[in-house]
Amino acid sequence: MCCSLVFMIPTCAAFHDLCCYAKSSLTVVIPTLEVLGVEVCPLPTALLSTQTDGFERYHFEENTASLEKILKHWEYLELGFDAIYTGFLGSHEQVELVMHFIERQREKHRSLVVIDPVLGDGGKPYAPIDDKLIHEMRTLVREADLITPNTTEAALLLDRPMQKDFSKEEILSWAKELSERTGSSVTITSVPIGNEHAVAYCHKEVCSLVFYENLAASYPGCGDLFASMMTGFLVNKVPFQIAVEKSVEYSSLAIDRTLKAGYERRHGISPSLIFPSLIEQRSLYGS
């Protein structure tokens, strides 16, 4: 008689927009998590003809009606997920749908909740973002186990003036305050500190910085790549500090390889260029 071991692949419900051309959001999230051994169940919050950075007159269509029907069917099927990971939310109604979904999942499952509060960059909110959505995002992030804002989004969540540069003490105080307000772990990405750049994090009252080389390039989708790797590592029980360090390391590697490959900037980050290296990282958690 033969016995077989059934291996359950962890699943992640991913609420992000879908760009039909160039790398951003779901076109980064899906392959990155899959390479890290997490099955992605995508919930497109909006449909775009292209990613928005570098393209004019793009088509944008929010997807609330379909999202609501999908979630109702999932609830009927009583589906459970190991992680819930949100990015850009295309309407106020979507915030409410996500909060309800998180609440229902936590009634029966121990889901990791990662919220990337996609609100803005470069010191200003994105075009579709208004004050009401910013206020609602401040409520939503309280449901998270981890939030991954950039410095613009951190300022919006804290209702503070935008800053172009930080001292180490300033950004660590921001991370600590966000963690205290939300009850979640925090990573603040793309932090300029003098001539250096870092990710600031706060986890279980430990706050620190992970520095990285400031490469002469910036690509759309880098934040999606970082947050996706954090999600994948944490789902697979990688310790938090190691997850941050590895996510910083491989985000930098992806930028470097995308730059050396000569990809057009508006095409976005190319996560596939680091996939062989990411696969090697599975040895960290034995899969």
CATH, residue 60 = 3.40.1190.20
pLDDT digits (tens, 9 = 90+) for 70-92: 999 999 999 999 999 999 998 99
- Is the pLDDT score of 150 beyond 90? yes
pLDDT > 70: what percent of the chain? Answer: 95
Residue 4 lies inside a defined structural domain of this protein: no
Q: Tell which residue, 224, 225, 230, has the closest CA to residue 242.
A: 230
At 38, the pLDDT band (50, 70, 90 cuts) reads: very high
Residue 274 lies inside a defined structural domain of this protein: yes
Residue 248 lies inside a defined structural domain of this protein: yes
Residue 192 lies inside a defined structural domain of this protein: yes
Where is average pLDDT lowest: 53-62, 150-159, 186-195?
A: 53-62
pLDDT > 90: what percent of the chain? Answer: 85
Q: State the pLDDT at residue 57.
A: 87
Q: State the pLDDT at residue 286.
A: 55
Residue 3 lies inside a defined structural domain of this protein: no
pLDDT digits (tens, 9 = 90+) for 88-142: 998 999 999 999 999 999 998 899 999 999 999 999 998 889 999 999 999 999 9
Beta strands in 9-82 (DSSP E): 11-19, 39-48, 60-62
237 φ/ψ angles, rounded to the nearest 5 degrees: 70, 25
CA angle 222, 250, 207 (to 5 degrees): 85
Residue 286 lies inside a defined structural domain of this protein: no
Q: State the pLDDT at residue 127.
A: 82
At 231, the pLDDT band (50, 70, 90 cuts) reads: very high
Burial state string for 224-241 with b = 16 or more CB within 10 A and e = fewer than 16: bbbbbbbbbbbbbebebe
CA 67 to chain centre: 19
Residue 283 lies inside a defined structural domain of this protein: no
pTM summary value: 0.94
- Per the structure, how many domains does the chain have? 1
Q: Which domain holds residue 218?
A: 11-278
Q: State the pLDDT at residue 285.
A: 59
